[in-house]
Amino acid sequence: MSRRALALLLGGCLWSWCFSLVSAQTTEPSSVELVPPRFVQGDLSAYPSELRDTGLGAAVDLWLTIDAEGRVDEVMVVGSGGESFDAAAVAAVLRYRFEPARRGQQTIVARIAYRYVFHPPEPVTIPASEVEKRMQNKEVFPAGVGGAAARLPSPVATVAPEQKVAAEEEDDAYSATATVDDAPREVVRRTLQREEILKVPGTRGDAIRAVELLPGVHRPPFGTGQLIVRGSAPGDSEAFVEGSALPLVYHFGGLTSVFNSLLLQRLDFYPGNFGTRYGRRIGGILEIGVRDPRRDRFGALLDINVIDATALVETPLDKKKKFTLALAARRSYIDFFVRSFSPSNGRLTAAPVYWDYQGILTYTPTRRDRLRLLTYGSSDHFALVGLDPADSDPNLRGNIDFATSFHRADLSWTRQLSSKVDQRVSVSLGPNKLRFAFGPDLKFDLSFLQMYGRAEWRMRLSRRFGLTSGLDIFVAPYDLNYRGPQPGQTEGQPMQESLSTMQLFDRSHRGTSLRPGLYVEADMLATDKLRFVLGLRGDYFSEVQGWALNPRLSTIYSLTERTRLKAGVGLYSQAPEFQESDATLGNPQLKPIQSVHSGIGAEHQVFAGLTIGGEAFYKYLFDRVVSTTGAVAPYYRNDGVGRIYGLELLVRLPPSSRRRLYGLGSYTLSRSQRNDRGEGWRLFDFDQTHIFNLVAGYRLGRGWELSGRFGLISGNPTTPVVGSVYSSDDDLYVPVYGKVNSVRNPLYHRADLRIQKQWTFRVWSLMVYLDVRNLYNYRNQEGISYNYDYSQSQPISGLPIIPALGLRGEL
Amino acid sequence: MKTLGTLGAVGRGGWTRNLSFAVWLGLTCVGKGLLGCTGSFESATRIERTRVVATRSSVIGDASRAWPRPGETVRFDLLAVDPNGIANISWALVLCADRGSAFGVGGCAGSPLALATQLDPQPSTPFLEAALPSAAELGAVTTLRLSAIACPGASLRPDILPTTNGVDALLDPAALQQACPVDERNRSTLVTATVSLQRDDLGNRRPLFQADTLLLNGAPWPELEAFSGSEVDPVCSLNAQGTVPTASARRGAVYVRSIFPADQRDVYLPPNGAAMQRESLRVSHFADAGQFNSQFSFIEGEADNSQVAWIPPEVTTPAAITLVRFYFVVRDQRGGVDWTRRYLCLVP
């Protein structure tokens, strides 16, 4: 590690110590104006009658929405204890009565986190006074506003620590803690809860792919699964797992994500105007929240479908349940089918196969502390040998070898330093490998060790003022071996040319990418209705030896209890792509890429559960990296700008125990343009004018559930080929292009369907599901292919209908 | 067949940050190479209209050398093929200093060094002989650019020729159609080729087809004089004398082997390379009927030969005997080129 990195880490430790001092001096409680709901009555000892003889215990984590009259209006299961226990818990809490939450004298709708614990054989009954005592809050998050930001359990200073400790020392049989999430700080944060994302048709229950339904998310290019947000390039957005960057989101083909959805708690998606906690990106952020393992008892799950199989076990490790563990693994079996297949001109030596694993070990020594070790990894590999030269590109011949893998260990420690200060420190470390070779002239072999650290402190200094500050650092020593053509600019450069007609280079390079960042964010409540979040972030990019200072501001105005207006503006920076700033392939003299995000929007809760929202946004990009004319040295310059503007609408009716129907509808109208080297405005490669998605599900009863999805999306722009020139050097034709991105692929549309049936037995449940992608087998055009001299063309079609039958057993 | 954006993916996305781009690249290449993109286009190996399939440079006085020295005279030939044997084309060739580009169509830097034209279509072989300027006059120029237009069945307009900018002026389809007003049956071809200059003792010898270079189903396949379309029947009627080999359409694929001994392949130091290596030869295969299983074959490493399969056309008139013309081009991938013709009588 470089001296600079060491200095920054030491600085972080010093900062941590300073904050500890501050927190020690700020423990006196602040005045409370928001009053949480108070428990009045309800059945606290419900137990499923059919399981009474089983001797089982369980815990069900719930979110309760309590209306202004004190009734439980909405129940969401966020941590299942099994079908029967879930149903019993939901049925019980729906009959609860509370004194409603209040802001001053006004009663308001509130949401609380609630754990219902079943203890066999005689359920433990807790006096109502005890429940009330354990639900003391300092702040109540008005439910249904701000995208239902739910976090369970939240360590944010919400419950007086003395009370929490007391609760823990007593019987753990029943707890009802009203934890309150941070009030929304971002202009747009869209959160998808576990129950919502596991049921999206066409994804085989892959939760991360559910993000594609949200407004602002573009349909990814065929087979890639890339995250394209609000007209930004794929490399401009990033996915994080509990704050640590995920190097690869999907296995090959883009159909399955590398992180098992069964271990997800939530997805937080920030399409723009995100806070200073996130940096080094000018697009959007996807934060993947991982749930804790079960604390009540041993659990297991096995999911088998036509593509892969998943196994999951989770259990508390000690009697006090301070240690919990979950282990999961998944493997595809495409190779079992593909082994019998041999291309006409090649031999398959390693059939396509992927696997991934996850492990979670949590330790909760006190109510104030939580340690978690999260390990995960992924691998994809296949190989072919003996391929004849392709007519279109004779250099593509011989052997193909493709392998990618990463492993990660992420250790985090969350500590409530005082009633006003929380601290979270995390460090992740892991190797990454990417190897790709095709024939003698295309080779890419990259290995790097990703180290990522973050330390963050959140302080609630008064009811009207909060402060968040932290530092994060990304360090990646890498080793690259490359043979191939000079890489072009990341988009806007049609490249149908064959490898054989391009000048090839051999490059080997070792280096270290170092990106430290510091951030601070002040959260100010100007009035009871008006909130400002003002932040500043500084980043350093060692690749280009450049600094970036990013101020950001967002403001939220609560027009009514159900309606909120919001606006934000901020500056965002990002390092050039690796190949652009690498000394051997690009130009290390580049500057960081910059973008200004601005947005304004509104959200309204029509009734409990149903929310609608809309945002208008405008982004301006400058110092974009583009190729030099003719792609000659220094190969890249900061000579590009861009502009992106649009409108997003979202209607959500999340799954609830109150309704059989749930759904989500989203629409995005946008335009994304680029201007390279002052040559005039053109469309961005993945500009999609209209993006419409509709998902609806219905619980039919008796364990049957039916859901469907329909998407209607503008085709991506393409650059037409208007002619060709015969290159005698290679016996190939070189295409002559028309205006960049001047035509579009046809409108894309697709319907997916999912039907599932669940049987619940005494100690386990069984689910059978059929997930059909591209229900009516429409062959959407994903691109254009040409004949040898570009005089003829034909569309490249996307994936046909893919039915996936699966079986899931859960203990 | 060419697939959208294959190599663009090399440059798209951050390698260290978004491995999925590379996944996409891998899959696209796989699809391009063998799986997903099996289009219904005509095979590139089948000559169905007038086409240019090679250019060749040879130093006058030492035809085995592909790279001319400054001040030497060099000849450039253009191989235009046609289903009827000899192409009836008008043409223009122009030689200039190369302006350099990492990809795309190369162009000229400065005025043409030489120009040759055939403005009216004729059954001829396009060529250009040029006396190169001296080393002092060429200065730092290391490569030349040969540009050409081949215009089948139509006259070239003399005022619109590839000149100072190579073929740049003709890249616009409308301008090309103006320069070469072909009818719907024909297609004009713009041609570009790089010519390296020999600046030291390390030159480049062209690989050469010899009489025994090609084997047809394991038997020698000798070269004959060119035949024009009207001579098809006499050619195959001579078959009784064993002049032209015969193949049966019903027996399926015919195998063609190209043999180039190691001494045909120069040893050279590649640009940015650390060690000397032997040239890799690339052989292109064409026929005016049927198709080859691959347009290209390679002779590289320790190998001294390559083999491809030619799949005969379906015979629709059982009694007919068809003369099939084959064209083979070998490239050392450093500018050394040679070609040859072969004939086959296809019987039902």
Amino acid at A485: P
State the nearest Cα–Cα gap between B37 and chain A, in angstroms.
7
Q: Tell me: pLDDT of B302 over 70.
A: yes
Cβ distance B170 to B190 under 8 Å?
Answer: yes
Which pLDDT belongs to residue A768?
A: 93
Query: Bridge partners of A675?
Result: A641, A681
Q: Tell me: pLDDT of A549 over 50.
A: yes
pLDDT band with cut points at 50, 70 and 90 for residue B345: confident
| A313 contacts: CB under 8 Å, gap ≥ 6 | A298, A299, A300, A301, A326, A327, A328
Q: How would you write chain B as a 3-class SS string?
A: CECCCCCHHHHCCCCCCCHHHHHHHHHHHHHHHCCCCCCCCCCCCECCCCEEEEEEEEECCECCECCCCCCCEEEEEEEEEECCEECEEEEEEEEEEECCCCCCCCCECCCCCEEEEEEEEEECCCEEEEECCCHHHHCCCCEEEEEEEEEECCCCCCCCCCCCCCCHHHCCHHHHHHHCCCCCCCCCEEEEEEEECCCCCCCCECCCCCCCCEEECCEECCCCCCCCHHHHHHHHHHHHHCCCCEEEHHHCCEEEEEECCHHHCCEECCCCCCCCEECCEEEEEEECCCEECCCEEEECCCCCEEEEEEECCCCCCCCCCEEEEEEEEEECCCCCEEEEEEEEEEEC
Per the prediction, chain A carries an average pLDDT of 80
More confident residue, B185 or B312: B312
Contact A390 B33 (CB under 8 A): yes
**Percentage, residues of chain B above pLDDT 90:** 34
Maximum mean pLDDT: which of A13-27, B191-205, B214-228? B191-205
pLDDT band with cut points at 50, 70 and 90 for residue B6: very low
Each residue of B254-279: b (16+ CB within 10 Å) or e?
Answer: bebbbbbeeebbbebeeeeeeeeeeb
**Percentage, residues of chain A above pLDDT 70:** 81
Which pLDDT belongs to residue A696?
A: 93
Model-level ipTM above the cut of 0.85? yes
More confident residue, A763 or A195: A763
* Virtual torsion, Cα B318, B323, B324, B329, nearest 10 deg: 170
Which pLDDT belongs to residue A734?
A: 87
Which pLDDT belongs to residue A642?
A: 96
State the nearest Cα–Cα gap between A304 and chain B, in angstroms.
25
Q: Tell me: pLDDT of A149 over 50.
A: no
More confident residue, A73 or A173: A73
Cβ distance B213 to B187 under 8 Å?
Answer: no
Query: Which of the residue ranges A108-117, A606-615, A654-663 would you say has the lowest mean pLDDT?
Result: A108-117
Give the tens place of pLDDT for each residue, B141-187.
889 999 889 999 888 887 766 555 556 777 777 788 888 888 878 88
| Pairing between β-strand A636-653 and β-strand A610-627 as defined by DSSP bridges | antiparallel
Which pLDDT belongs to residue B70?
A: 93
Whole-number Å distance between alpha carbons of B40 and B31: 15
Query: Which of the residue ranges A138-142, A326-330, A524-528 would you say has the lowest mean pLDDT?
Result: A138-142
Which of B1, B16, B204 best tests the A interface by mutation, with the highest count of A CBs <10 A?
B16
Question: Rounded to whole angstroms, what are the CA distances from A136 to A36, A178, A430?
Answer: 7, 7, 41
Among chain B residues, CA nearest to A789:
B44
Q: Which residues of A are less than 8 Å from B21 in CB distance?
A: 224, 226, 234-235
Q: Is B298 part of the contact surface with chain A (CB cutoff 8 Å)?
A: yes
The average pLDDT across B16-33 equals 44
Side by side, the strands of the sheet bearing B337-347 are B246-248, B337-347, B322-331, B281-287, B296-299
Contact A485 B7 (CB under 8 A): yes
Cβ distance A793 to A718 under 8 Å?
Answer: no
Q: Give the closest of B3, B52, B167 to A796, CB-based.
A: B3
pLDDT band with cut points at 50, 70 and 90 for residue B316: low
Which pLDDT belongs to residue A651?
A: 95
**Diameter over CA atoms, chain B:** 69
Contact B273 A487 (CB under 8 A): no
Give the tens place of pLDDT for each residue, A460-518.
888 789 899 999 999 999 998 888 887 878 788 876 566 766 777 788 888 899 999 99
State the nearest Cα–Cα gap between B265 and chain A, in angstroms.
17
The average pLDDT across B32-49 equals 68
Whole-number Å distance between alpha carbons of A601 and B66: 68
Q: Give the closest of B18, B20, B103 to A631, CB-based.
A: B103
For B:155-194, CB contacts with A below 8 A are: 167, 171-173, 176, 187, 189-194
Give the tens place of pLDDT for each residue, A224-247.
778 899 999 988 999 999 888 888
Whole-number Å distance between alpha carbons of A176 and B225: 97
The average pLDDT across A358-363 equals 94
Q: Is B39 part of the contact surface with chain A (CB cutoff 8 Å)?
A: yes
Q: Tell me: pLDDT of A724 over 80.
A: yes
Contact B23 A248 (CB under 8 A): yes
pLDDT band with cut points at 50, 70 and 90 for residue A20: very low
State the nearest Cα–Cα gap between A625 and chain B, in angstroms.
12
The average pLDDT across A350-363 equals 87
Among chain B residues, CA nearest to A792:
B41
| DSSP 8-class letter at A486 | P
The average pLDDT across A421-437 equals 92
Q: Which residues of A are less than 8 Å from B192 in CB distance?
A: 725-729, 734
Contact B1 A785 (CB under 8 A): yes
Q: Is B275 part of the contact surface with chain A (CB cutoff 8 Å)?
A: no
Q: Which residues of A are less than 8 Å from B101 in CB distance?
A: 630-632
Length of chain A: 811
Q: Tell me: pLDDT of A453 over 60.
A: yes
Which pLDDT belongs to residue B9?
A: 31
Which pLDDT belongs to residue B34?
A: 40
Q: Which residues of B are less than 8 Å from A788 in CB distance?
A: 1-2, 41, 44, 295
Q: Give the closest of B10, B18, B172 to A234, CB-based.
A: B18
More confident residue, B34 or A466: A466
Classify burial at A288, counting beta carbons within 10 Å of its beta carbon; exposed 0-12, middle 13-18, buried 19 or more. buried
Q: Tell me: pLDDT of A169 over 50.
A: no
More confident residue, A528 or A413: A413
Angle at A387 between CA A383 and CA A392, to 5 degrees: 115
Give the tens place of pLDDT for each residue, A171-213.
333 333 334 344 456 667 777 777 677 777 767 778 788 888 8
Q: Tell me: pLDDT of A400 over 60.
A: yes
Query: Which of the residue ranges A638-642, B20-24, B154-158, B212-216 would you say has the lowest mean pLDDT?
Result: B20-24
Which pLDDT belongs to residue A32?
A: 42
Q: Tell me: pLDDT of A14 over 70.
A: no
Which pLDDT belongs to residue A187?
A: 66
pLDDT band with cut points at 50, 70 and 90 for residue A159: very low
Contact A224 B189 (CB under 8 A): no
Query: Which of the residue ranges A23-37, B120-134, B264-278 would you say has the lowest mean pLDDT?
Result: A23-37
Q: How far apart are the first and last CA of chain A?
A: 46
| DSSP 8-class letter at A17 | H
Q: Decide: helix, strand or coil at residue A477.
A: strand
Whole-number Å distance between alpha carbons of A398 and A408: 34
Among chain B residues, CA nearest to A475:
B16
Whole-number Å distance between alpha carbons of A664 and A650: 7
For B:50-69, CB contacts with A below 8 A are: 52-55
Cβ distance A576 to A543 under 8 Å?
Answer: yes
The average pLDDT across A97-122 equals 73
Assigned token pair, A1: 């590690």
Tell how far CA B178 is from the center of its chain.
Answer: 26
DSSP string covering A188-224, please? --EEEEHHHHTT-TTTTT-GGGGGGGSTTBPPPPTTT
Which pLDDT belongs to residue A35?
A: 72
Q: Decide: helix, strand or coil at residue A701.
A: strand
For B:99-138, CB contacts with A below 8 A are: 100-105
Maximum mean pLDDT: which of A5-9, A61-65, B72-76, B197-201? B72-76
Q: Tell me: pLDDT of A409 over 70.
A: yes
The average pLDDT across A133-142 equals 40
The average pLDDT across A343-350 equals 54
DSSP string covering A735-780, please? EEE-STT-EEPPPEEEEEEEEEEEEE-SS-EEEEEEEEESTT----
> How many CB atoms neighbour CB B218 within 10 A?
9
Amino acid at A708: G
Q: Is B297 part of the contact surface with chain A (CB cutoff 8 Å)?
A: yes
pLDDT band with cut points at 50, 70 and 90 for residue A284: very high
Which of A348, A543, A724, A731 best tests the B interface by mutation, with the highest count of B CBs <10 A?
A731
Give the tens place of pLDDT for each residue, B224-245.
765 544 455 566 766 545 678 8
Q: Which residues of B are less than 8 Å from A484 in CB distance?
A: 10
More confident residue, B167 or A767: A767
The average pLDDT across A551-566 equals 91
Which pLDDT belongs to residue B104?
A: 65
Whole-number Å distance between alpha carbons of A4 and A541: 12
Whole-number Å distance between alpha carbons of B276 and B202: 12
Which pLDDT belongs to residue A748?
A: 95
| A648 contacts: CB under 8 Å, gap ≥ 6 | A188, A215, A216, A271, A601, A614, A615, A616, A617, A666, A667, A668, A669, A670
pLDDT band with cut points at 50, 70 and 90 for residue A545: very high
Amino acid at B190: L
Q: How far apart are the first and last CA of chain B?
A: 30
Q: Is B42 part of the contact surface with chain A (CB cutoff 8 Å)?
A: yes
Q: Which residues of A are less than 8 Å from B6 in CB distance?
A: 393, 495-496
Per the prediction, chain B carries an average pLDDT of 80
Structure-token match 């807790």, residue found = A126
